[in-house]
């Protein structure tokens, strides 16, 4: 997602978080990063790109304007296996290690948002302030929309989790003309009493900015927002997803945000502020960088991304 609009404002200046990480990070992220280094050494021919991160940038991210995809935005040509709509709420498998667990997946944005600017521009209360209901999301320079990407990866995640017995619910599945608003996205997870909720996105930063990052909720207690009960559990969820995303995709943590950890804490995101269940966002890569674009538009890589996200969720749910 681009850092313009609701849940997309530039992160506020903060102190460096270069101190010791939690036990979960020690167990997951370093090991996964070591795996990433091995992957780089031997190469990975199926990722759709070079897989090597650009050198760390000393400059802050260059936010790009949120870009709407047109109705006839070009397809990548390799989406056929996972983009057919299916019910927003799905029953759990009769058996499996995740039987009884509820996961809410939030595919960021909506392909129809650009046709409903009045609706998505109205503001909603996120506790700390008011923000626009939603945005169009970003896109690659060739026109592959973030909303297409998020739905594709989300559906792949759902398939993997359902195979392990989980009940998976979506905030939207291409089954509504726009939205939902960011407050409703949070409410869907809350009302489902989700054991975990994950919002899937891709960034719209400047060329040369590469890699993924996971956004964790900061401690907020303002208005109708109180994240204090979920801060620790959300961090655990986010650290596990970050570590396993590295392992499954071979992608490096962001070189432009998160101090190389792949983890960012924010207090300005309505989808996190209003959540009462463990929840994180993942920015899977930067759609405006040509090397990340090659990954994000690869069906094979999106399957790897889905496995990384799913395995992180499974690790969290199984403790």
Range 24-41 average pLDDT: 43
Instruction: Please report the pLDDT score of residue 198 as a whole number.
Output: 99
> Does 192 have pLDDT greater than 60?
yes
Instruction: Please report the pLDDT score of residue 94 as a whole number.
Output: 52
> Does 111 have pLDDT greater than 80?
yes
> Does 154 have pLDDT greater than 80?
yes
| Summary mean pLDDT of the chain | 80
Instruction: Please report the pLDDT score of residue 72 as a whole number.
Output: 35
d(CA 64, CA 138) in angstroms, rounded, equals 8
Beta carbons within 8 Å of 7's beta carbon, 6+ residues apart: 1, 131, 135, 182, 268, 269, 270, 271, 281
> Does 115 have pLDDT greater than 60?
yes
pLDDT bracket for residue 1 (50, 70, 90): low
CATH of 1-6+92-150+157-266+279-319, one of 1.10.3720.10, 2.60.34.10, 3.40.50.150, 3.40.630.40: 3.40.630.40
Instruction: Please report the pLDDT score of residue 166 as a whole number.
Output: 98
**83 contacts 147 by C-beta, under 8 angstroms:** no
Instruction: Please report the pLDDT score of residue 95 as a whole number.
Output: 77
| Residues noted as catalytic | 283
User: What tens digit of pLDDT does each residue of 241-279 get?
Assistant: 999 999 999 999 999 999 999 999 999 999 999 999 999
Lowest mean pLDDT among 16-20, 60-64, 232-236, 311-315: 60-64
Closest CA to 107 of 192, 188, 204: 188
d(CA 240, CA 316) in angstroms, rounded, equals 7
- Domains of the chain, by residue range, sit at 1-6+92-150+157-266+279-319
Range 306-311 average pLDDT: 98
Report the percentage of the chain scoring pLDDT > 70.
71
């Amino acid at each position: 997602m681009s850092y313009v609009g609701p849940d997309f404002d530039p992160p506020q200046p903060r102190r460096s978080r270069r101190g010791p990480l939690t036990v979960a990070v020690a167990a997951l992220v370093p090991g996964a990063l070591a795996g990433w280094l091995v992957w780089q050494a031997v190469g990975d021919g199926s990722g759709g790109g070079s897989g090597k991160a650009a050198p760390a940038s000393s400059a802050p991210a260059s936010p790009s304007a949120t870009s709407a995809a047109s109705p006839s935005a070009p397809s990548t040509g390799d989406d056929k296996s996972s983009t057919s709509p299916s019910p927003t709420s799905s029953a759990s498998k009769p058996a499996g290690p995740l039987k009884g667990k509820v996961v809410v997946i939030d595919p960021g944005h909506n392909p129809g948002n650009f046709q409903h600017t009045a609706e998505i521009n109205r503001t909603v209360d996120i506790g700390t302030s008011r923000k626009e209901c939603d945005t169009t999301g970003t896109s690659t320079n060739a026109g592959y929309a973030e909303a297409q990407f998020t739905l594709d990866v989300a559906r792949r995640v759902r398939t993997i989790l359902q195979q392990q017995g989980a009940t998976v619910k979506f905030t939207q599945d291409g089954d509504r003309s726009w939205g939902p608003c960011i407050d409703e996205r949070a409410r869907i997870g809350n009302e489902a009493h989700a054991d975990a909720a994950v919002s899937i996105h891709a960034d719209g930063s400047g060329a040369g900015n590469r890699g993924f990052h996971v956004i964790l909720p900061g401690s907020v207690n303002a208005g109708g927002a109180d994240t204090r009960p979920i801060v620790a559990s959300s961090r655990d969820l986010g650290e596990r997803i970050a570590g396993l995303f590295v392992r499954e995709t071979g992608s490096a943590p962001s070189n432009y945000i998160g101090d190389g950890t792949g983890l960012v804490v924010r207090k300005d995101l309505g989808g996190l502020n209003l959540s009462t269940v463990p929840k994180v966002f993942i920015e899977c890569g930067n759609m405006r960088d040509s090397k990340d674009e090659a990954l994000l538009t690869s069906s094979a890589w999106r399957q790897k991304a889905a496995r990384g996200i799913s395995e992180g969720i499974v690790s969290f749910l199984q403790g």
